[in-house]
A and B are shown apart, each in its own frame.
Chain A
Amino acid sequence: MATTTATVTINSDISSYPITIGKQMTLTKSANRSAGLEETTGLRSKKFTATTAAVIVEADELTDDTAHKVYIRNASASRANFFYVAYNASAAAAATAETIGKLYGGDWMLFPYNGSTNITVASSTTDTQFLEYMVLADGIEAAKG
């Protein structure tokens, strides 16, 4: 049984009193909250030079309704460019119903994922952007793909 932890630290001086959020979680399975996640898609890095939407996480490779976590980072530096990130079979755009958000250069996100629909991205620009992503999986369907 593997042990994987994810820690977030958020610091902000928006308020007159400083905000510090610090939280660590151990990634565990839905069926046994004491058992650590044992599978991953691995960390991938992908270069994008077009705005065409692309699937980065295929839902049919993952067990439905478990405790997957998805990590995505825009590894480019420009704050002018971004990726749309959507929970959708094939689309990712501002008007796509399940677009989660815009991941600007340097931004990252980590969210729990039920593995029922693809995770799709689309670059906002034809300028080169790099995306890093990884699923920390609670069940990979090895026969599919």
Chain B
Amino acid sequence: MATTATISISSPDLLPGGSLSINASATLTKAGVTADLDQKESGVIKLATGTEFRLGPLATEMSGDVHDIGSYIYICNNTTEDATRYIDWGINETMIGRLYAGDWMFIPWNASDDAAEIEIEAQGGTNIIEYCFFNSDFILPTAAS
């Protein structure tokens, strides 16, 4: 079971006197080894403004007390109504950037503890995002009864 992530960044005119072309591919594996990741969680969510939400599981919902896992997340803002809308994204109650309508991001996720949750908040109106986590250690919540 292999999962690969490839990026291409290109521009004919960003660099004076030359074009920009970056191509890289990674095979996503479990932490520190070459074994493939084997679990994923994905979804599409409509986000209203005014509330900061947690995206995805808490650290303790992935690997108990051991958080030394390989974990990656892809997020895309699929909002089409208004290009100026964005979601603030961050970790540990600290906003890191703005994911504008039409933009995507891909990061490894540390998930060292529950406070290191991924947080998102819609700005400018309702935003629609899609996301996919790849890792090896999701733990389902215990049933209420």
Q: Which residues of A line the B interface, CB within 8 A?
A: 2-15, 19, 21, 23, 25-26, 28, 30, 33-34, 37-38, 40, 42-43, 65-68, 71, 73, 79-80, 82, 84-85, 87, 94-95, 97-104, 106-114, 117, 134, 136
Instruction: Determine whether the beta carbon of B14 is less than 8 Å from that of A40.
Output: yes
Contact residue among B9, B89, B101, B115 (Cβ-Cβ distance under 8 Å from A71): B9
B109: nearest chain-A partner, CB-CB: A101
Q: Which of B1-56 contact A (CB under 8 A)?
A: 1-15, 20, 22, 24, 26-29, 31-34, 37-40, 42
Number of residues of chain B lying within 8 A (CB) of chain A: 65
CA distance A68 to B67 in the complex (A): 30
CA distance A85 to B100 in the complex (A): 22
A–B Cβ pairs within 8 angstroms, 12 of them: A3-B14, A4-B14, A14-B38, A19-B40, A65-B98, A71-B7, A95-B112, A100-B96, A110-B7, A111-B89, A117-B94, A136-B14
CA distance A65 to B15 in the complex (A): 23
Instruction: Determine whether the beta carbon of B5 is less than 8 Å from that of A108.
Output: yes
Point out the residues of chain A lying under 8 angstroms from B70, CB to CB.
102, 104
CA distance A67 to B88 in the complex (A): 11
Instruction: Determine whether the beta carbon of A43 is less than 8 Å from that of B14.
Output: no
Contact residue among A3, A5, A9, A112 (Cβ-Cβ distance under 8 Å from B100): A112
Point out the residues of chain A lying under 8 angstroms from B72, CB to CB.
101
Point out the residues of chain B lying under 8 angstroms from A40, CB to CB.
14-15, 20
Smallest beta-carbon distance B1→chain A, Å: 5
